[in-house]
Amino acid sequence: MLQNGFQALQTGDLVRAEQISRQLVAGNPRDEGALLLLAMSLDAQTRLDEAAAIFERLTAFFPERAEHWLNLGYLERSRDNTAAARHALEQSIALDPQYDALRELGLIESAAGLNHIAAVHLSAALALQPNDATLRAQTAGTCQRAGRTDEAMALLQGWADWAHSNPDALADVAWTFMENGDLENAGYALELAERQAPDNASILAKRAAFLERTNRVDDAGVLLARIPLRDDGIKEEIDVVRAQIAGRSGNADEAYAIYETLVRDERIALRRPELFFALAQISDKRQDAAQAMNWLQQGHAVQMQQLRASLAPKAELDAMLLPPVDVSAQDYAGWAEVSPPSAAESPIFVVGFPRSGTTLLETMLDAHPQLSCMDEQSFLHELVQQMRERGYDYPRDLGKLDDATCDALREHYWKQVRERSQADADKRLVDKNPLSMTRLPLIHRLFPNAKIILALRDPRDVVLSNYMQIFRAPAYARMCERLDSTAQGYAVAFAAWNAFTGVFRLDLLQTRHEDVVDDVAGFSRRLCEFLGLEWSENMVAFHEHAAKRGYIGTPSYHQVVEPVNRKGIGRWLRYAQWLQPASSVLAPYVSQFGYAEVTDRRADASP
């Protein structure tokens, strides 16, 4: 009789299957097969509450059976009962860590914004089925959002082979590449995806977001208009792009209304803290400091809630972003002599605390016909790892590196530049990464003749701007959780910088953001003089060059395609009352860098 019931289920006679199963259960309430048939027939009829009750009975009667917990997890997710689904899947994995349960739990955690723990489950599922293209693309994207960029890029190796016939996987691959700054692969993957599924709303939405992110706002709006608005999972994706385009097109009220509607949905708000930061940015443009701070506090709270739920105690979240690095004059005097490359054979390093105008400098330099920039990369951090793999401690053993080891480390650096950046190999490289300022001992050991440009900006504007951005790296997000903690990070970075510059002999140009925007032409000439280059008028119209360049992988991407302006200069004055807890920490640097005289000035009137 049970076999007849399953045959009825397979042929679509759901009522008959239910009738047979109920007859069997009436005779034996613990009949496992009959209960399973009943639950499946109810599920197929979309009577989800009744089906869930039967699956719960199965897990109660047979708690050692992983498949019953898995089925319950699937069903609870269908009912949008995330907590129950998570519990059921965790029970299934504990009994038998199979692909289906690991993948499902990973997708649940990813949808909840818990990318660190999601990456663990999805990676485990992928290890069981490595040829699953959709899962590989999803895992790579989750790793990228968790700040595990190296793992993400490793997963995307050979993507054109394993994802070429899967448009959804291609779209996910494209998004991950875009978030990592690989414009060429991102655009190609999206082109392939759209070619295979030209009417796929999700792919079109990603394409529109890509166009906005690469500063083709009008094209993004045209494409978005082609996508029908549906009340399903795609609507949220489309609404976010609509808001981004509205904000870029001067329709701040429309953008604000869209974002605010999105965050009213608690399910969206708890997994998308970036929406609160977007609302804060719009409030700031309206010069409503109190409202901006309200949104920022909510955004940071949601992000930290996500990170604390994802990371184990004492893990990356509690790590020091800027651990103290000490190289004394005595240490430096004992460094072994090596034969370094010349300034022309070395990168030009643009450094400074994030949000100090480094992207503006980079874009200006990239506009020079003899220079080529790459989006921010972690190549110097990787060299520290290379040192450790060779048995050297950083920074203690920098002085022990001989010519052969230094040559090998430099070759590794240039190899990464060639393979993982879009820098023009025929031009002189500009390596812009703000926090490379904390790697100054490494830079000076490998490229002691390098030209170094330090970007400065009023420390109070810098700290405020960092607090107003959402950062994905857990340790940096933790540092920027509050204004006072952000100020502490700034102080640690510049205390190290001051110590380094007191020890090392550097070819250094120190710049102030405010001076740059006040006299772009004069500053660009000064910059060329420092670098030993002829001046190029392209550097004055750098925003036009940036628009042609397309992708800029920093939070400033929408700003550097605009003509230079004083937006953001003196913005801290509107937030002075909230910055008060950070003032004593920043005071020495406000004085050192010459900003004490602007304390009592009015903020610039520009929104």
Domains of the chain: 329-562 (3.40.50.300)
Whole-structure pTM value:
0.84
Whether residue 463 has pLDDT greater than 60: yes
Among the residue ranges 282-291, 536-545, 546-555, the one predicted with the least confidence is: 546-555
Confidence of residue 557 (pLDDT cuts 50, 70, 90): very low
% of the chain residues with pLDDT over 90: 78
Mean pLDDT of the chain: 90
State residue 368's pLDDT score.
95
CA neighbours closer than 13 Å in the CB half-sphere of residue 442: 25
State residue 556's pLDDT score.
47
Residues 8-25 have a mean pLDDT of 93
Confidence of residue 215 (pLDDT cuts 50, 70, 90): confident
Confidence of residue 603 (pLDDT cuts 50, 70, 90): very low
Residues 563-572 have a mean pLDDT of 78
Residues 204-214 have a mean pLDDT of 90
Residues 100-121 have a mean pLDDT of 94
What angle (nearest 5°) sits at the alpha carbon of residue 320, between those of residues 314 and 323? 140
Residues 47-70 have a mean pLDDT of 96
State residue 553's pLDDT score.
47
Of 255, 311, 203, nearest to 263 by C-alpha is: 255
Q: Which residues contact 323 (CB under 8 A, 6 or more apart)?
A: none
Q: Which residue has the tokens 């030993």?
A: 532
State residue 374's pLDDT score.
87
What are the tokens at 316?
A: 């990356």
State residue 312's pLDDT score.
60
Residues 542-560 have a mean pLDDT of 53
Whether residue 552 has pLDDT greater than 70: no
Residues 280-301 have a mean pLDDT of 96
State residue 549's pLDDT score.
52
Of 433, 460, 486, 143, nearest to 300 by C-alpha is: 486
Question: Distance (Å, rounded) from C-alpha 168 to C-alpha 194?
Answer: 10
Long-range interactions of 492-496: CB distance < 8 A, separation 24+: 492/322, 492/324, 493/322, 493/353, 493/435, 493/437, 493/438, 494/353, 494/589, 496/322, 496/324, 496/325, 496/437, 496/438, 496/440
383, 406 contact by CB (below 8 A): no
Whether residue 348 has pLDDT greater than 70: yes
Question: Distance (Å, rounded) from C-alpha 516 to C-alpha 508?
Answer: 16
State residue 315's pLDDT score.
57
Rg (CA), the chain: 28
Report the relative pairing of strands 428-432 and 371-374 from DSSP bridges: parallel
